[in-house]
Chain A
Amino acid sequence: MTALPETARPGTPVSGGGVTGSVRDSLVVAKRNLIRMSRIPEVVLFGLIQPVMFVILFTYVFGGSMKIGASTDADVYKNFLMAGVFAQTVTFATAGAGAGIADDMHKGLIDRFRSLPMARGAVLTGRTVADLVQTALTLLVLAVVALLVGWRPGFAEPTDLGRILAGFGLLLLLGYAFTWIGALIGLSVRTPEAATSGGLIWLFPVTFISNAFVDSSQMTPWLRHIADWNPFSATVQACRTLFGDPGVSQSAAWPMQHPVWASLIYSILIIALFRTLAVRKYRKAGG
């Protein structure tokens, strides 16, 4: 054991607080979650299998029999599909965030954090930021797979790198927004298992009653309305527009006409609402 120099007596904590303290604490928690994820690589791996499987299955099973606009060309569907799979993949981070936070509750870690003089929202922010990093990695791998099976940005309309990156930016923002929904679910259920299934089940209708996998103009009118106004559809439409993919919806609904703005507004609203609710729930966790 080394002698302790007088200058660095750790018994007296440095006073934190305010925005700086909050950012600092969030980064400490994010680092913890990233170390954790790096030690359970199978979780990241399984997170990749599902979207890769969807890319392959949808491309080869549905491609050729799906009608996008007036075309049933398999190449058109393939290029149409990718934005949908990307968007669905980022929303699935919800389950991971929820399960992680529920696990922390279950193991008493949330109690420990709550007994520390740290920023109130930092535990949740740290987790969602770590999930964002994981989502970015997943998306990167998925984009490579998409290119390998024949996704060609600019297939329908010309695009450029800036627009493509902007599209991925919107996807990450959507994913980040959804992890806050996951955080709230994680704090509201009793077991990590419940958080995983509770985090996933509702995502199926949200991601399927949308323009992600089929041309929504071919849906029955009431369903089409839901799909056109679905926050998830806005990001898909925005990505198709930015990537120059085929099958951009011609619907007159506002989010379909202004998809980039709609995607931004929806994501920011989701973050504002669910962050508020989740932090409130965290502060009262356990009674």
Chain B
Amino acid sequence: MPGAIHAEGLVKHFGDVKALDGVDLDVPEGTVLGLLGPNGAGKTTTVRCLTTLLTPDAGKAQVAGIDVLKHPNEVRRSIGLSGQFAAVDEYLTGRENLQMVARLYQMNAKAAKQRAGELLDQFDLAEAADRPSKTYSGGMRRRLDLAAALVVRPPVMFMDEPTTGLDPRNRQALWEVIKELVGGGTTLLLTTQYLEEADHLAHDICVVDHGRVIARGTSDQLKAQTGGERVEVVVHERGHMATAEEVLRGFAKGGGATAVEEHTRKLTVPVTGGAKLLAEVIRELDAHGIEIDDIGLRRPTLDDVFISLTGHAAVTDSAPADAETPERAEKGAVQ
């Protein structure tokens, strides 16, 4: 039985650019799928196709059991969308924004008013409810945007990079809100550039690149594929790099290769064993008379997942996450 969100072979072109190149997805009811990928991978385009904002060139999709292409308006009644940018009218107050959205979900005026009040309480916006949302902080605007997406308690939710541009504290707060939501049985498709976020929130993860799903599984499965933790060492003298590489090779998990960056004097090696192992590495380097500037243990990042899956870095054009993304630019080009 297909899940609450189901897509097969989604293809979408923007002029010569193939934004989606056959995306297949299935999100069982009540679970969270994290769509992980760099800017321009096709995450937003996938969400736009599933939320009826874009018509795919090929493929089919069902949301909440409804055919997205045949009955878009029925789908719209069953979904909530929180896009990449907080889509609220900044000159309207928080309350007015929510009431407007509720009215447009076809609620009557009384129900809309009541629901807006509930959401403002729930999202800790009651105090700011009657101020224009222009005066809100980034985190508050995000919460308001999310509240607007939840007006009808939709069974299926889409969130496109919900925490992009938020500081760590607000990110944590939003994660809590999302977890609560999912705890209530909502099916969620979430896009993110952060492995940590997908790790935290998603039951399953699809890694997307160049409009295709290149890997899927739980976060543990993906991490196993990526090679777990790494020890990163910066040696003091360039002349010590060869010896240091020799030492680190002894700790490499499964004979994994040591990555060497000459100009920063940085060596990275995949390991298992955590902090205890780190102490051993320090002792061993010391025994060889290698002076170190920095050493640390780190979890695989999105870059590591990408390098291990595709052989290229995740964010190739190093575009800042909150700036105009390629997907956004593509959108502009076809308007």
- Mark A residues whose CB is within 8 Å of B: 1-2, 4, 8, 10-11, 13-16, 21, 24-25, 28-29, 31-32, 35-36, 39-40, 105, 107-109, 111-118, 122, 187-190, 285-287
Most chain B beta-carbon neighbours within 10 Å: one of A14, A21, A115: A115
Q: Are A14 and B107 in contact (CB under 8 A)?
A: yes
Q: How far does the alpha carbon of A286 sit from the alpha carbon of B48 in the complex, in Å?
A: 9
Contact residues of B between 16 and 40, Cβ < 8 Å to A? none
From B83, B88, B90, B106, A16 is in contact (CB under 8 Å) with B106
Q: Are B48 and A287 in contact (CB under 8 A)?
A: yes
Residues from chain B with a CB closer than 8 A to the CB of A187 are 335
From A108, A122, A189, B87 is in contact (CB under 8 Å) with A108
Q: Are B104 and A118 in contact (CB under 8 A)?
A: yes
Known interface pairs A4-B118, A286-B335. Does A117 touch B111 (Cβ–Cβ under 8 Å)?
no
Closest residue of chain B to A118 (Cβ to Cβ) is B104
Closest residue of chain A to B84 (Cβ to Cβ) is A108
Residues from chain B with a CB closer than 8 A to the CB of A108 are 83-87
Q: Are B54 and A286 in contact (CB under 8 A)?
A: yes
Pick the 9 closest A-B CB pairs, nearest first. A108-B87, A10-B115, A112-B87, A117-B76, A16-B106, A108-B85, A10-B111, A1-B121, A13-B106
Residues from chain A with a CB closer than 8 A to the CB of B168 are none
B178 contacts A by Cβ under 8 Å: no
Q: Are B335 and A188 in contact (CB under 8 A)?
A: yes
Contacts across chains A and B counted by CB atoms under 8 Å: 119
The distance from the CB of B36 to the nearest CB of chain A, in whole angstroms, is: 22
B165 contacts A by Cβ under 8 Å: no
From B83, B104, B152, A111 is in contact (CB under 8 Å) with B83
Q: Are A10 and B85 in contact (CB under 8 A)?
A: no
Q: How far does the alpha carbon of A190 sit from the alpha carbon of B335 in the complex, in Å?
A: 8
Closest residue of chain B to A9 (Cβ to Cβ) is B111
Most chain B beta-carbon neighbours within 10 Å: one of A8, A107, A287: A287
Known interface pairs A13-B106, A285-B335. Does A115 touch B81 (Cβ–Cβ under 8 Å)?
yes
Contact residues of B between 33 and 78, Cβ < 8 Å to A? 48, 51-55, 73, 76-77
Q: Are A10 and B107 in contact (CB under 8 A)?
A: yes
* 28 CB-based A-B contacts, threshold 8 Å: A1-B121, A2-B117, A10-B102, A10-B151, A11-B153, A14-B108, A24-B103, A25-B103, A28-B103, A29-B104, A32-B92, A36-B91, A39-B132, A107-B85, A107-B90, A108-B85, A111-B48, A115-B52, A116-B104, A116-B105, A117-B106, A188-B335, A190-B335, A286-B48, A286-B334, A286-B335, A287-B48, A287-B55
Residues from chain A with a CB closer than 8 A to the CB of B331 are 286-287
Q: Are A39 and B107 in contact (CB under 8 A)?
A: no
B12 contacts A by Cβ under 8 Å: yes
B148 contacts A by Cβ under 8 Å: yes
Contact residues of B between 304 and 335, Cβ < 8 Å to A? 331-332, 334-335
Residues from chain B with a CB closer than 8 A to the CB of A35 are 91-92, 96
B276 contacts A by Cβ under 8 Å: no
Residues from chain B with a CB closer than 8 A to the CB of A112 are 81, 83, 87, 101, 148
- Cβ proximity bits B285-312 to A, threshold 8 Å, 1 near / 0 not: 0000000000000000000000000000
Q: How far does the alpha carbon of A163 sit from the alpha carbon of B14 in the complex, in Å?
A: 54
B248 contacts A by Cβ under 8 Å: no
Q: How far does the alpha carbon of A15 sit from the alpha carbon of B76 in the complex, in Å?
A: 12
Q: How far does the alpha carbon of A30 sit from the alpha carbon of B115 in the complex, in Å?
A: 21
Residues from chain B with a CB closer than 8 A to the CB of A11 are 152-153
B177 contacts A by Cβ under 8 Å: no
Q: How far does the alpha carbon of A15 sit from the alpha carbon of B74 in the complex, in Å?
A: 11
Most chain A beta-carbon neighbours within 10 Å: one of B53, B73, B108: B53
Closest residue of chain A to B78 (Cβ to Cβ) is A117
The distance from the CB of A9 to the nearest CB of chain B, in whole angstroms, is: 8
Q: How far does the alpha carbon of A114 sit from the alpha carbon of B151 in the complex, in Å?
A: 15
The distance from the CB of B118 to the nearest CB of chain A, in whole angstroms, is: 7
Q: Are A190 and B107 in contact (CB under 8 A)?
A: no
Closest residue of chain B to A37 (Cβ to Cβ) is B91
Closest residue of chain B to A120 (Cβ to Cβ) is B73
Q: Are A117 and B48 in contact (CB under 8 A)?
A: no
Q: How far does the alpha carbon of A14 sit from the alpha carbon of B151 in the complex, in Å?
A: 13
